[in-house]
Amino acid sequence: MRFSEIIAVCYQGVYSLNYLRKILAIISFSLVIFTGVSLSQENINENVGTRGLGFLKIGVGAEAIGMGESHVAQSHNLFSSYWNPAGLSLMQRAQLGFMHNSWFEGINHEFIGYVHPLGTLGVLATSFSYLSFGELERRDASGELQGSFRPYDLALVFSYGKKFTSNFAAGINLKFLREQIDDKKAQALAFDFGGRYDVPKSQLTLGVNLQNFGTKVKFVEESFDLPLNLKLGAAYRLFEESIAITTDLNYPWDNDVNLGFGLEYTPITLFHLRSGYRYSWGGNDLGVVSGLTAGLGLSIESYQIDYAFVSFGKLGPTHRVSVLANF
């Protein structure tokens, strides 16, 4: 289609002036964020390892993980409490779910949560996540064995999401955080702020989530900021929503900016195939295969079972399984 024809179509009123203004505003906002990310990126690596409670960066829910961890605009179930609490606003039934993440060298990540819709008042959720490192040896300054201990991280999260218009929803998380290594403990309080916008007359959804805005965490005598992160994303659905394409831009304050891309294909209602890829702006240090994800899901009546595979290149793969039950 020639440029003059596009102008004629717009002039004829296929898209209203207000709609065009919204699209232009979204594009302008994205360009500003993207430009800011590009200009500041050379200083990001200097902040690696300077923030505490890094387990908050580990995503939950095998559905999202299998799609390159790009779900800020696609989240629609209990696991929205991580990706974008505004996604909770879509839920009309109570839901209970859990996830098991088999990570590296005996490290395991567990998640359990519950969602309770309140009708026009919105949707409430609560969740608990726990990262365990197994049993480690305790030794004194001379190297003598003095027993063992089990370090862990945990988060107790209370979430709320609500639709404010037919196209716009917002959500918030309140997170109580704790870390323990031997007899040393650290605690913190954090918030997430999310929003999602369904573009009118389109299958496009936009999402944003500011994660881990909160207090410093003090461990022994030193204090650390939390791993603040800004997520921007989009999701587009095709062929009566049998195909979903997603992308997320993550801007962590303590690491490289990274991009996630995801694809979900639903050939029949009960079966889902997923794939994705995550790319770090500074390059995937563990090899080009690192960041590759894949997954599948099975929906049977009121239950959904999902599996995700994530490649960490030279470190090997990790596996996640999650289950959701609707009431």
pLDDT band, very low/low/confident/very high, at 36 (cuts 50, 70, 90): very low
pLDDT over threshold 50, residue 49: yes
Can you read off the two tokens belonging to residue 98?
Answer: 């859990």
Looking at residue 47, what is its pLDDT? 63
pLDDT tier, 28 (very low <50, low <70, confident <90, very high otherwise): very low
Query: Residue 10: is its pLDDT beyond 50?
Result: no
Give SS3 for 1. coil
Tell me 26's DSSP state. H
Percent of the chain with pLDDT over 90: 62
SS (H, E, C) 152-184: EEEEEEEEEEEECCCCEEEEEEEEEEEEEECCE
- pLDDT tens, residue by residue, 121-172: 999 999 999 999 888 778 878 777 878 888 899 999 999 999 999 999 999 9
**CB count, 10 Å around CB of 92?**
10
User: How big is the chain, counted in residues?
Assistant: 327
Backbone angles phi, psi at 316, to 5 degrees: 95, 180
Does residue 230 register a pLDDT over 90? Answer: yes
Which range in 50-54, 243-247, 315-319 is most confidently predicted, on average pLDDT?
243-247
List, for residues 175-189, the tens digit of each pLDDT value: 999 999 888 889 999
What pLDDT does 226 receive?
93
CB neighbours of residue 41 within 10 Å = 14
Architecture of domain 48-326: Beta Barrel (2.40)
Q: What is the pTM of this model?
A: 0.83
Per-residue pLDDT tens for 145-154?
878 888 899 9
